[in-house]
């Protein structure tokens, strides 16, 4: 069975808040890998920061969470659900992410139950770690 690699087929996010361009791997209920290429035309760069555009750390964490949501929602057990943030722990920002950069996003589920879960996520620029964090979420019914 072939799984769609279009994030819009898995998560409800849409522009301007869809922060994953493409999926590279999906292991339902276990992990997912995706990419987000920063073109420089994103809505946040003019104000963050004028003269030195830098991708906000909170948006990089959100992009990891979106990939994690794909890992969860691609599992048949969680169809019709919506993962909502329950918390972020141990977030570390190691590198600036600039216009033109492509982040490789990965989220691995470390705990997953019928109502909640945890995942460990990373974002890399090439072979260099840019962000890592632990995410907690609860599962709500999708609208």
Contact 29, 72 (CB under 8 A): yes
Q: How far lies 109's CA from each of 4, 12, 24, 44, 112, in Å?
A: 20, 20, 17, 29, 7
Q: Among the options 48, 90, 120, 124, which is catalytic?
A: 48
Asked if 90 is an active-site residue, the reply is: no
Count of beta carbons in the 10 Å neighbourhood of residue 84: 12
User: Which residue numbers are catalytic?
Assistant: 48
């Amino acid at each position: 069975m072939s799984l769609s690699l279009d994030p819009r087929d898995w998560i409800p996010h849409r522009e301007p808040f869809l922060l994953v361009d493409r999926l590279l791997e999906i292991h339902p209920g276990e992990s997912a890998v995706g990419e987000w290429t920063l073109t420089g035309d994103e809505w946040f760069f003019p104000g963050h920061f004028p003269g030195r555009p830098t991708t906000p750390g909170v948006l990089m964490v959100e992009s990891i969470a979106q990939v994690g949501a794909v890992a969860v929602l691609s599992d048949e057990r969680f169809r019709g659900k919506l993962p909502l943030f329950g918390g972020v722990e141990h977030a570390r920002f190691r590198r600036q992410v600039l216009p033109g950069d492509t982040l490789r996003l990965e989220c691995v589920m470390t705990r997953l139950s019928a109502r909640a879960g945890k995942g460990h996520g990373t974002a890399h620029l090439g072979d260099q770690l840019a962000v890592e964090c632990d995410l907690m979420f609860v599962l709500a019914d999708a609208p």
